[in-house]
Amino acid sequence: MIMGRLQSEKLAPFFSLLFFFFFSWFFGFSTAAFNLSILSFDEGYSPLFGDGNLVRSPDGHSVRLLLDVYTGSGFISSSMYQHGFFSAKIKLPSDYTAGIVVAFYTSNGDVYQKTHDELDIEFLGNIEGKPWRFQTNLYGNGSTNRGREERYRLWFDPSKEFHRYSILWTAKNIIFYVDEVPIREVVRNDEMGGDYPSKPMSLYATIWDASSWATNGGKNKVDYRYAPFISEFKELVLDGCAMDPIQELPDAAACSVTDTWLESHDYAVITPARRAAMRKFRQHYMYYSYCYDTLRYPVTPPECVIDPTERQRFQDTGRLKFGGSHRKQVRITRARRKRRSRGASISNEQTDM
């Protein structure tokens, strides 16, 4: 008896390790952690709005942004950056969060009102029991009539634990990361012209009421009985060529040194393992891409890399033909069978784009 227990106790870590490796291998999401220099809030950021709803931790290293019936809140980097790696560990509000947007993005809209640049990660709220969804997007030189949205689900519940979300912006490419998984890369393409962000940007983090559009196209609104809604940010990172917000043009020489330094970081390199993880993520969790939305863009935007097998999964609205995961697909197939037997046609499951 004792021998048996000892043996299984000894074996337990082995099995859990095996389990871990199996899952890491299966999902391909096991890339080594980035080597990052973490800032305290006051070292890099300032409150932006809703000051009373911005709560710093006693050690100054993490910050909570609250949304209540009176206001949302936000913070901004104290400098602007000509290229950079903008990153934070974020935990989203839990339970009923329809209509809420938590945004982590770079922009220079305050300085260049008509020709602004922007890179977005926007979490779009959820109704209870449904997963959070999020989108990435970019604008350059005021290209606000040419959205470049992609929408995704996640492989974890972002309200249960902290995960790292990052935006890398260099002169060559843009990479959006969830943890160490690159989920989207936009390689600079001459045909994009000014649509590729080119001017210094600040980092913003905000929580706000976007009832009119965030969740199911605005059908599910913020319910303040569940307020305050709390998002938490920690292990903040700002790497890049910092400049004063009122300095209109970057010092090209100074920034070329930082550019080289930025591009030498491990997060600037998509290794074959990371590329495989990116492909898997996009296969399983992306449910909308503007690149496949031929109704919106009859001419494919120049930076889009069309993957023929990926394209087959999308309709000409850029939405998935079926649900995102296999499980969902099975559920829909069942529902469809039921409906078909009643002679009804299936309506599109994705109504929020």
Ligand X SMILES: *[C@@H]1O[C@H](CO)[C@@H](O)[C@H](O)[C@H]1NC(C)=O
Report the residue closest to ligand X, judged by CB: 194
Residue number with CB closer to ligand X (60 or 302): 302
Residue number with CB closer to ligand X (82 or 135): 82
Residue number with CB closer to ligand X (123 or 169): 169
Which stretches of the chain bind ligand X, using CB under 6 A? 115, 141, 193-194, 198
Q: Are 137 and 146 in contact (CB under 8 A)?
A: no
Residue number with CB closer to ligand X (52 or 193): 193
In the bound complex, what is the minimum distance in angstroms from residue 142's beta carbon to ligand X? 6
The amino acid occupying position 235 is: E
In the bound complex, what is the minimum distance in angstroms from residue 210's beta carbon to ligand X? 28
CA angle 67, 72, 74 (to 5 degrees): 115
In the bound complex, what is the minimum distance in angstroms from residue 242's beta carbon to ligand X? 22
In the bound complex, what is the minimum distance in angstroms from residue 215's beta carbon to ligand X? 34
| Distance between CA atoms of residues 286 and 220, nearest Å | 22
In the bound complex, what is the minimum distance in angstroms from residue 255's beta carbon to ligand X? 16
Residue number with CB closer to ligand X (134 or 139): 139
| Distance between CA atoms of residues 342 and 344, nearest Å | 6
The set of catalytic residues is 118, 122
Omega within 30 of 0 (cis) for the link into 228: yes
| Distance between CA atoms of residues 217 and 211, nearest Å | 9
Q: Where are the beta strands (DSSP E) in the chain?
A: 45-49, 54-56, 62-67, 73-77, 80-91, 100-107, 118-123, 134-139, 150-152, 163-169, 173-178, 181-187, 202-209, 229-243, 286-289
Residue number with CB closer to ligand X (115 or 256): 115
| Distance between CA atoms of residues 123 and 102, nearest Å | 5
In the bound complex, what is the minimum distance in angstroms from residue 59's beta carbon to ligand X? 42
Residue number with CB closer to ligand X (54 or 119): 119
In the bound complex, what is the minimum distance in angstroms from residue 198's beta carbon to ligand X? 6
| Among candidate residues 85, 143, 92, the one with its CA nearest the CA of residue 114 | 143
CA dihedral for 248, 88, 85, 154, sign (positive or negative): negative
Bridge partners of 201, per DSSP, are 81
Burial of 12 (0-12, 13-18, 19+ CB in 10 A): exposed
Residue 36, both tokens: 């990052």
Which residues, including other chains, have CB under 8 Å from residue 44's CB and lie 6 or more apart? Answer: 77, 78, 79, 236, 238
